[in-house]
């Protein structure tokens, strides 16, 4: 690795903490178990192809594979066992929590000790491409039977850079929905059906504003609809934010802002102008800040110290927004309250909108046996593995038939996840903003968002003040 690439990686590492907040996708708040290193060893199968080197891929090859979600690890180990039985290629799986994952990965790139294959994120891969640490998949795909049209529309093309190289095959997708404490709703005389038919606007909050006011309770038992409500002594907030926003707000502001007419980039993916000077974005973020001050939304200080998901799980917040990868955590034993889900409220555009994000598996340039690594990536992106993930109901797989298996598995478990899939059915998703400068943008915008949510600066002044700086990074 040359010196410029090394320095670039160090720069990326320096802002990882900020980006982790902004792109809080798949944080798997509970994905903090030990490494979970495991090996699916087997020695059967012998259909590997000759890679042109001294040893063919297949028997005896070992692929090191990294992921960050502990909830998914057992099921990818199941995939690995089946894959090894079929090919003779061994898979070593290592799991790290979200923050450690990206730190360790960046360090491994710099020290040339990266895994052969790893789970990748849309916010990260463009910078990895710029650093030259990923292996393009084009030639592998051209020589295979992989049909990139088999995935949900748009997912596969998110991993193609403007020059035409592809750096990942889709493995799953996620959306964002309202998460409801049904005990709190019942106490307030509300229902999940009420939550599923809300509208929102940044002027008066619409019926959603009334909804979270009604769910907010102070120490004297007054709700937010009462003139006696004390915002300095709140015992239950009507709404909780998952994290301190960051630049892209996947699980927080993005759905509200887009339903208010906001578009993050002039072109996605790889636009050359971001719209942080958008009045629609400013109005959306200011609405959140104003409702924090009003005592209806969890204070940013509490979210930063305890975590937004924890504040919902312990009943401090009656509702929140969160991603589909958190369904099992939010409905499991770690959550102290009964949970149901509803789509995000309809915004001024008349639609309920959710960011549509998807993960993929990528191969590193340091892979010792690229052909064997490709066979593993191909298997991960096939129905053989994605059906296993679907049956486990840990995420929604990228192949529609496998995602249907996941939806049915949730239904069998008594969990209605239609709120998360409704956006796909109604074609009201929007894509994660993809740029090759995500960490730099996060470094600039993330602190400003925190200032706004603390009431230290208005959204118009704060975001308007950095819009030109962001655009200069993007080249406009």
Q: What is the pLDDT, as a whole number, of residue 139?
A: 97
Amino acid 37: pLDDT: 31
**220 burial type by CB count under 10 A (0-12 exposed, 13-18 middle, 19+ buried):** exposed
pLDDT at 27: 39
Q: Name residues of the chain where pLDDT drops below 50.
A: 1-56
Count of residues making up the chain: 476
pLDDT of residue 364: 98
269: cis peptide before it, omega within 30°?
Answer: yes
Q: What is residue 475's predicted lDDT score, i.e. its pLDDT?
A: 86
pLDDT of res. 58: 58
Tokens of 472: 């200069």
């Amino acid at each position: 690795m040359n010196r410029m690439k090394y320095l670039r990686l160090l720069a990326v590492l320096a802002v990882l903490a900020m980006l982790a907040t902004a792109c809080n996708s798949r944080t798997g708040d509970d994905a903090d178990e030990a490494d979970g290193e495991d090996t699916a060893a087997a020695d059967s199968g012998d259909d590997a192809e000759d890679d042109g080197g001294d040893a063919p891929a297949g028997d005896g090859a070992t692929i090191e594979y990294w992921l960050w979600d502990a909830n998914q690890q057992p099921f990818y180990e199941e995939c690995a066992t089946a894959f090894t039985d079929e090919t003779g290629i061994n898979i070593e799986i290592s799991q790290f929590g979200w923050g450690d994952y990206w730190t360790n990965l960046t360090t491994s790139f710099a020290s040339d000790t990266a895994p052969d294959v790893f789970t990748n994120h849309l916010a990260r891969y463009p910078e990895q491409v710029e650093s030259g640490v990923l292996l393009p998949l084009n030639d592998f795909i051209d020589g295979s039977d992989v049909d990139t049209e088999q995935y949900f529309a748009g997912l596969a093309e998110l991993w193609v850079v403007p020059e035409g190289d592809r750096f990942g095959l889709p493995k799953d997708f996620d959306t964002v929905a309202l998460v409801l404490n049904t005990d709190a709703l019942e106490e307030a005389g509300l229902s999940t059906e009420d939550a599923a038919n809300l509208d929102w606007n940044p002027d008066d909050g619409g019926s959603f504003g009334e909804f979270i006011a009604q769910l907010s309770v102070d120490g004297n038992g007054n709700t937010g609809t009462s003139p006696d409500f004390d915002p300095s002594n709140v015992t239950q907030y009507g709404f909780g934010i998952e994290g301190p926003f960051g630049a892209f707000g996947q699980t927080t502001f993005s759905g509200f802002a887009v339903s208010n007419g906001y578009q993050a980039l002039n072109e996605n993916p790889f636009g050359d102008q971001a719209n942080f000077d958008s009045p629609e974005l400013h109005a959306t973020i200011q609405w959140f800040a104003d409702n924090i001050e009003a005592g209806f939304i969890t204070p940013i200080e509490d979210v930063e110290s305890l975590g937004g998901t924890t504040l919902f799980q312990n009943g401090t917040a009656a509702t929140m927004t969160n991603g589909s990868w958190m369904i099992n955590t939010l409905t499991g034993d770690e959550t102290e309250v009964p949970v149901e889900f509803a789509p995000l409220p309809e915004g001024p555009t008349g639609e309920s909108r959710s960011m549509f994000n998807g993960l993929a598996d990528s191969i590193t340039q340091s892979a010792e046996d690229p052909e064997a690594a490709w066979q593993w990536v191909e298997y991960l992106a096939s129905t053989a593995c994605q059906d296993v993930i679907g049956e486990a109901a840990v995420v929604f797989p990228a192949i529609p038939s496998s995602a249907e298996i996941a939806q049915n598995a949730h239904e069998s478990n008594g969990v209605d996840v239609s709120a998360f899939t409704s956006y796909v059915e109604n074609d009201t998703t929007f894509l994660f903003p993809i740029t090759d400068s995500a960490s730099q943008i996060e470094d600039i915008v993330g602190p400003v968002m925190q200032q706004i949510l603390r009431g230290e600066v208005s959204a118009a002044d704060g975001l308007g003040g950095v819009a030109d700086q962001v655009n200069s990074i993007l080249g406009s």
